[in-house]
Structure formats: C-alpha cells, structure tokens
Amino acid sequence: MFVAWRDLRFARGRFVLIGSVVALITVLVGFLAGLTGGLAAQNVSAVLALPGDRLVLQQPSDGQPSFADSRIGREALAGWRASAGVDEVVPVGIVQGRAVRAAADGTDASGTGAAGSAAGAAGSAADADGAAVGVALFGLPASTGSDGVAALAPRSADEVGLSAGAAHDLGVRAGDHLTIAGTTFEVATVGGDAWYSHTPVVAMTPEAWSTADQRLGGDGDPTVLAVSGDPDWASVAERTHTSAATPLSSLTALETFRSEVGSLGLMIAMLFGVSALVVGAFFTVWTMQRSGDVAVLKALGASTPSLVRDALGQALVVLVVGIGVGTAAVVGLGTLAGGALPFLLSPLTTLVPGVVMALLGLAGAAVALRTVTAADPLTALGSNR
C-alpha cells in the first residue's frame, strides 16, 4: 500500500472526484432503497403484523390468490378449524372504506346524522370540508394477541382501534367519535403504525366489520384466516379450496405490492450496475495513466500480486470513504424526510446497499487491473527506443 498511499496523497483532486461520484451514487441508491422500504411498509405492514403461522386465502379455480377477491366461506373456515394440528384459526376481514370524524352527538362534521347518511353507507361518507379519509377496515377479535394489528382490535362492537396514521389523518384521539359506513364508533385505542395498500388501518370487531362490509357491497365473509399450528398445510388447503402461505410469502397476493416493489427493485438493481461501471471506468483511466509507473515498479522487482493488492487497496480506501459519506448523507436526509415521505431507515436500507456498492466497486476496479498485470518492464527501461 506504500505506492497507493503516496498516490492518494499527491493526487488529491483525482480521488476527491472519484470519491464524490461514489458518494453521490450511494446517496441515490440509499435514498431509493429507503423510499422503497417505506412504500413497502405502507403497503403491507398490517399483513405482516397479523397473528398466526400461515395466512389462508381463497384459492380461485384459475389464477393466483388475491387479498382483494378472497372470501373465506363457512365450510372452509370449519374445515381449517377441524383439521388435525391446527391450534387456532382467526378469521380476519379486510376491506377498503372511508371514515369521517363525528361529533359526540352522532353527527359528522357537516351536521348530517350518521345513521341517516346514505352516502356513508355506500362507503363515500364525506363532509363539506372534505374530511373523509380512506382507511383499511380490519375485523378481528380482540383476544388474538397484544402485538401488531391485534393490539388495535376493540372489545365492543361500537368501538374501533386506530393506527397512528388513521388517528393523524382523521384528527382524532381516544374517546373521540367517527363515522364508518353510516355507523358512529368511539375511538377506544390509538396504536402504532399499521398500513394496508397505503391506507391506515382501523380495527373493528368481527360483527361490526361484517355489517360495514355488507353496507359497502360485500357479503360479510372474512377475507383471510390467520392459522396457528402445524397441520398438513398443503392437504388442508387443497381440501378447503384455499391457499396457505407464510405472511411474507402471501405478500405476492397484493397486486400493488408486486408492481410497486418490482419496479423500484429494478431501478435499484440498475443503479448498482451503473455504480460498478462508473467506478470501473474511473479506475481504468487511473491505471492507464500510471502504466509507466507500474512498469518501472516491475522492473525494480515488484511482483504482480503485490501491485494488484496495492491497486485494489487504493480502490477500497476510495470506496469506503465515498460510501461512508454517502451513507451518512442518506441517514441525515432520511431523518429529515421521514415526516413527509414514507422513508424507512434500517440496516437493510443503509448498510446493505453500502456493502453491495463496495463489492461492485471492487469488482469494477478489478476489471481495470489488466493494465497492471500486463505492464511490461522492458517498456519502462526504454527497450522500444
């Protein structure tokens, strides 16, 4: 590394330029990764927080299961509950709806009685000020657990539990009232963040959810079963005409998740490829410029492996500094943007992209080592003159 350190010291401008480009690419990749993670969390966090080992959806005769179309009938529910190895089956209803803040006397913000609002029953309740908020209505019993969406589940049919996003958008807190599908509910609890298809979650009892679903045009049957235990998953699923998958695997049943994460993931992969090409191009130019110096070092007895280690070590120093600066910028910008954008700061969106950038950068620098390995000592000694 002796030659590498001297080169870094006396050619500061060149390596500041390379490091700046690496830092900018790291900011771009890291910010896009954080945005992808934030958007994914706003799409599926409520699904991942459901209780149970597997999520059971209706299996259509043709095509893939879908949260939007799944309806679990009584026979399928009874089949899972009666199967050997099943410890618990929790029916969960999911439907998109709208909610509006209501006054304590049961009227919404526009002064319309909640019970008499036909528009509310149609799922389009809105006041004159446009205070209606799109929400994801989850119906599940309160006894299913104290974590995730289950922690929001109320114990009374005239109560609801709100995620932090729903409470913020509606401007309500525990003890306030809101109107959903023509019925007024009291806010029992306000919990953490829970999202489904980019809408905040409102938890209801199964009975209240079934009524709301029917008013919104559904049949009141649950959407998914959260099953705990160790049955023969494939056999029971085939017998009940359903599909059983882990919460993570079941995310493919959300159409918006597949399209959104797929496109953003492709952009991140392309940025990784660009980073390898850019870093490789920089170090190719650098090795070409110092080919004479490398030939002299070989003529003086330096081995090719030592020169390769020197070149890769120099590339690693530049990459570590550039990626470090870029990652710090991502953390700072992500912290500032977290309140306005769905941005996720985690090792998966900061450290992992940085490590991948370093590996791809070293790969790009390794491609540029042909000038080092092929440098001719005789050229440096003037044999061509």
- The pLDDT assigned to 121 comes to 39
Q: Is residue 252 part of a domain?
A: no
Band (303; pLDDT cuts 50, 70, 90) = confident
Say yes or no to pLDDT of 80 above 60: yes
> Phi-psi bin for 126: left (phi > 0), alpha (psi -120 to 50), beta?
beta
* Residue that wins the pLDDT comparison between 102 and 215: 215
Check whether residue 191 and residue 212 sit in a common domain.
yes
Whether residue 82 is found in the same domain as residue 218:
yes
Residues contacting 252, CB < 8 A, separation 6+ = 64, 258
Same domain, 358 and 300: yes
Please compute, for residue 14, the number of CA atoms within 13 A of its CA located in the half-sphere on the CB side.
15
Domain match, 206 and 96 both:
yes
Q: What is the mean pLDDT of residues 66-95?
A: 94
Q: What is the pTM of this model?
A: 0.76
State which residues form the domain around 235.
54-102+130-245
In 3D space, the residue among 131, 194, 205, 138 whose CA is nearest the CA of residue 166 turns out to be 194
Q: What are 223's two structure tokens?
A: 């959407």
Together in a domain, 60 and 202: yes
- Same domain as 226, residue 156: yes
d(Cα 90, Cα 113) in Å, to the nearest integer? Answer: 34
Residue range 227-249: average pLDDT? 93
Q: Which residue has the higher pLDDT, 253 or 294?
A: 253
> DSSP string covering 176-245, please?
-EEEETTEEEEEEEE-S--EETTEEEEEE-HHHHHHHHHHTT-----SEEEEEE---HHHHHHHHTEEEE
**Hey, which of 10-24, 231-245, 345-359 has the most confident mean pLDDT?**
231-245
- Mean pLDDT over residues 227-235, rounded? 94
Q: 311 and 199 in one domain? A: no
Residue 19 placed within a domain: yes
Count of beta carbons in the 10 Å neighbourhood of residue 101 = 20
Instruction: Tell whether 117 is covered by a domain.
Output: no
Examine residue 211 and state whether it is found in any structural domain, yes or no: yes
Residue 385 belongs to some domain of the structure: no
The model's pLDDT over 11-31, given as tens digits with 9 standing for 90+, comes to: 677 778 888 888 998 998 888
Model confidence pLDDT, tens digit, residues 155-186: 999 999 999 999 999 999 999 999 999 999 99
Among 201, 222, 245, give the residue marking a domain's end. 245
Q: Specify the pLDDT at position 46.
A: 92
End-of-domain residue from the set 245, 277, 308: 245
Q: What is the pLDDT of residue 190?
A: 93
CA separation for the pair 151, 193 (Å, rounded): 11
Last residue of a domain, one of 192, 214, 245: 245
Same domain for 60 and 34? Answer: no
Element (H, E) at 314: helix 304-337
Kindly state the percentage of the chain with pLDDT values over 70.
84
Task: Give, to the nearest 10 degrees, the angle between helix 12-48 and helix 304-337.
Answer: 50
| pLDDT of residue 122 exceeding 90 | no
178 found inside a domain: yes
pLDDT of 267: 85
- Do residues 194 and 283 both lie within one domain? no
Number of domains in the chain: 2
